[in-house]
Structure 1
């Protein structure tokens, strides 16, 4: 954990290793039809795929009243953000909100002055109705307000105030106002596409599939580490690779594979990664001196299959950063609160629901896609009409002026240390570096 102090003197709080299934923003679109083919049964039930019962987050809108079918990039979002900026400006001009004393975990049944401060804090931000009173009891009204606040800040909505909730609660109102002002310009800079489009919001760690101005799927994702950041970019999805090969860039070989092989000489064999010389011949791993950088001269290719770093599919789009979106064999990472674990690529939970939507006009339906994946044979699907794609960095947005979403400034781009509650300092980002293919672990 970083020992540096934030602007208000409070130690920065790490959320990187806090793991909970409640953190997932709800992974996928509506469940597809059940298929009778017995050949698909094992594949559809496989845990590496993600669950058919994972809920698309807008379907839970009634629970905390903060979810929406409205895309981040839309004129309605801009208007809602403008309204939220006006509201937060009034809050700042009125003196902001009180700090909530960090005097241990607060939950249902607790009483004391700290609860009264919490009530006032939640009432000012619109999470707790004024009609709920301002006493010192942590009652069901406070619990519901805390759940709403947590949902707006990308926290597990468990209704319990502990260190991560305290950290979000005690960001001053003027800093939140500045965060909104910074991000409205980012939202305004992207022209919403007509028809279909896909948006990745890096700090929120989710992807939206948008059609005719409405979110039809929203998926939890894992994006780049602080020192291997997912880049901001605009492109178009051009094709899909089912059962793809994975080729390790030289930087991954240098930074990751060489150290792994020094510690475990069986690593490549166990993960079905083969080494090729420029003439196409296979190089035995034991002939390479792993105490040098000799291995960087060769091509490293992982075979399709369950151990493949991209698992069942890779989604391709032209870009200079060697990044792509893909499946992953590491499904457990989607339940982490801090989903910044990749080498720059975007891993997508329940990615097959997304690719069925992407491939809709190609003649490849869900049954055909699942059968091809089950075969473990490589297959490319080209799109006649490429789909616009945006990788964005939005840490604050609003679906209406009273529903304002905030996320950690994981890459330290918003200008305030209090908004970046990660435990790692930002690294210099090299846009052209070929270091963004994920490792298979």
Structure 2
């Protein structure tokens, strides 16, 4: 049997298990340099993920401490409910009161187990009692210093609430959690009250919660958990975005369309010595896009092929990166829930391996819950779909809500609180919704997250600059979403010509594109003036004009004009997918070509829509008061943005 280390190294070298998420999330990059810093080597992500020089590898930490299982009938409360924020607010008051009385006692380092006695056990019993895991009798009289059955049961509940291996003993990971300072617990609780209030809105009778830090998915019916699934989520360098939206479609046996970056970096190099690789992974090449004709690979020269003129599509099957099914929903970040052929990765406790999409253990079971008997689907028919490899898309009727959430604390049974590690380091940043930045990095406006994708301007090889293939520069940029009320992200799948811009007011997580474009315009104008500047009277150049050879002067002028065009034409090409900024367009018009006045007028008169933003609740503020504390601002969005394409931001 191969070692864990060899197994992980093998998976790191695998072809492309989750690279399609890289395509969706790559829209975060704004410039080649920023793209490299923000997304690193995301496009090369595979089973565990390709670890680059700037990324710390994830320690899988042994076997999973959670399970994929149906718990229907056990009356278990979910991680998220409509009243979760209020319950956690109540717990905050308890923790603050404990802090005022000295906090938690320190549990000494010892491998305590049932039957042990002494002062260390007394500290353990008191520690468990203060957080609600042990009755007061366990800290009194003869039981105070004994590791009793009650102590063991309370410790097991503590371990379960912290995502630890449940063994009822004080092992090293358990000791570390027992001795986390109460001040840190208070800060964690405070960071999650506003998140719970937002995620808890509009849940409905049936909903799905994916908690990223817990690496778990819950399906909830009638306020009780029906089933839990272990999941694989984005690693710290490629975080999974947080979204709120209904489920849209179940896709059986989906195709996997290779992103252009994967085609260039991984697929084409393997084809330069033959076409066997395409047959091995069951991939076809289509000319021009998904509706184009299938091309015989033998007719292509893979040393000179313009990759963006073709679609490389992996057919349904056991090796397909999406495996048997995927569940789609509206998201500006291009993520989804899906099956995976890399099943062994679920055997690890830390499953932060993906580029942002969410891989589900036992996907057919989740699909069965989502479809809920629709069109006669049941476990047998779903299993049969996987065997037939039939491509089929099923729009979900009565679609359940989905919350891809970031919760590091939430209320648990018996008045206790469950905690998880802040894997993306978002606590204290005000983060509720959107895309976390990679750990250690900030957005262009200095935040730890963005509320909508940043426009993408990836580098394009010179030989392909004029291409307009399926993955090429002819593709439309994702539609910017409108800022509306706080709370829910209601994302449209439509496309438009560019991003919404900020009004310049402080709006956490939104980049001030107006200021950025003005800076670009100023830089462009300065460059233009330098290239076409006319000498003034009295300038030595004027005095020597008579001495200048007219033929040489004309040649120099032609060369200067020739030198201007490449930079400006490249800029114009890059701007094809963006709304025209009047200032920038004016600067470019001096050198390149006149700008359509209608386009400039349209960009110069953006629609103004109200923005509401829910602040994180301060310590001691009730949920009602928090909801009442709404900050109103304005955001500028493209005039052609549809009225129903809105984002409700915190």
SS at match of 2:376: coil
8 Å Cα contact 1:57-1:218 kept in structure 2? no
Q: How does 1:213-362 map to 2 (within 5 A)?
A: 213-251=223-261, 270-278=280-288, 280-283=294-297, 288=302, 298-360=310-372, 362=374
Distance 1:247 1:89, change over 3 A: same
Pairing partner for 1:78 from 74, 79, 85: 85
Deviation at 1:199, TM superposition (A): 2.1
8 Å Cα contact 2:246-2:402 kept in structure 1? yes
Q: Which moved more, 1:82-91 or 1:251-260?
A: 251-260
The separation in 2 between residues aligned to 1:260 and 1:364, in whole angstroms, is: 44
Aligned to 1:378: 391
SS at match of 1:299: strand
Highest Rg: 1 or 2?
Answer: 2
Aligned to 1:36: none
8 Å Cα contact 1:233-1:392 kept in structure 2? yes
Gaps of 5+ in 1: 1-13, 30-55, 62-67, 417-423, 435-441
Distance 1:251 1:155, change over 3 A: farther
The separation in 2 between residues aligned to 1:115 and 1:19, in whole angstroms, is: 28
Are 2:125 and 1:119 equivalent residues in the alignment? yes
Are 2:206 and 1:200 equivalent residues in the alignment? no
8 Å Cα contact 1:71-1:213 kept in structure 2? no
Deviation at 1:363, TM superposition (A): 0.7
The separation in 1 between residues aligned to 2:301 and 2:114, in whole angstroms, is: 63
8 Å Cα contact 1:69-1:216 kept in structure 2? no
| TM-score of the two chains, using structure 1 as the length reference | 0.73
8 Å Cα contact 1:80-1:399 kept in structure 2? no
8 Å Cα contact 2:162-2:420 kept in structure 1? yes
Aligned to 1:141: 150
Deviation at 1:97, TM superposition (A): 0.5
Distance 1:311 1:285, change over 3 A: farther
8 Å Cα contact 2:254-2:391 kept in structure 1? yes
Aligned to 2:646: none
Q: How does 1:7-22 map to 2 (within 5 A)?
A: 16-21=59-64
Pairing partner for 1:432 from 453, 467, 486: 453
Deviation at 1:251, TM superposition (A): 4.8
The separation in 2 between residues aligned to 1:179 and 1:317, in whole angstroms, is: 30
| TM-score of the two chains, using structure 2 as the length reference | 0.51
Are 2:385 and 1:365 equivalent residues in the alignment? no
Which fold has the larger relative contact order, with Cα–Cα distance below 8 Å and residues 6 or more apart in sequence? 1
8 Å Cα contact 1:320-1:432 kept in structure 2? yes
8 Å Cα contact 1:17-1:336 kept in structure 2? yes
Gaps of 5+ in 2: 1-56, 430-437, 443-448, 457-650
Deviation at 1:393, TM superposition (A): 0.8
Aligned to 1:439: none
The separation in 2 between residues aligned to 1:226 and 1:189, in whole angstroms, is: 23
Deviation at 1:213, TM superposition (A): 3.5
The separation in 1 between residues aligned to 2:271 and 2:394, in whole angstroms, is: 35
The separation in 2 between residues aligned to 1:164 and 1:57, in whole angstroms, is: 30
SS at match of 2:176: helix
The separation in 1 between residues aligned to 2:266 and 2:73, in whole angstroms, is: 38
8 Å Cα contact 2:371-2:397 kept in structure 1? no
8 Å Cα contact 2:285-2:312 kept in structure 1? yes
Distance 1:94 1:427, change over 3 A: same
Distance 1:253 1:19, change over 3 A: farther
The separation in 2 between residues aligned to 1:143 and 1:162, in whole angstroms, is: 13
Distance 1:145 1:185, change over 3 A: same
* C-alpha RMSD over aligned residues: 3.5
8 Å Cα contact 2:217-2:230 kept in structure 1? yes
8 Å Cα contact 1:28-1:353 kept in structure 2? no
Q: Which moved more, 1:90-99 or 1:159-168?
A: 159-168
Distance 1:86 1:96, change over 3 A: same
Deviation at 1:344, TM superposition (A): 0.9
Aligned to 1:28: 69
Deviation at 1:72, TM superposition (A): 0.5
Q: How does 1:385-396 map to 2 (within 5 A)?
A: 385-396=398-409
Are 2:183 and 1:174 equivalent residues in the alignment? yes
SS at match of 1:363: helix
Deviation at 1:124, TM superposition (A): 1.8
SS at match of 2:404: strand
Pairing partner for 2:109 from 82, 86, 102: 102
Deviation digits for residues 100-130 of structure 1 (CA, Å, limit 9, x no counterpart): 3335x44345555444433332222222333
SS at match of 1:199: strand
SS at match of 1:373: helix
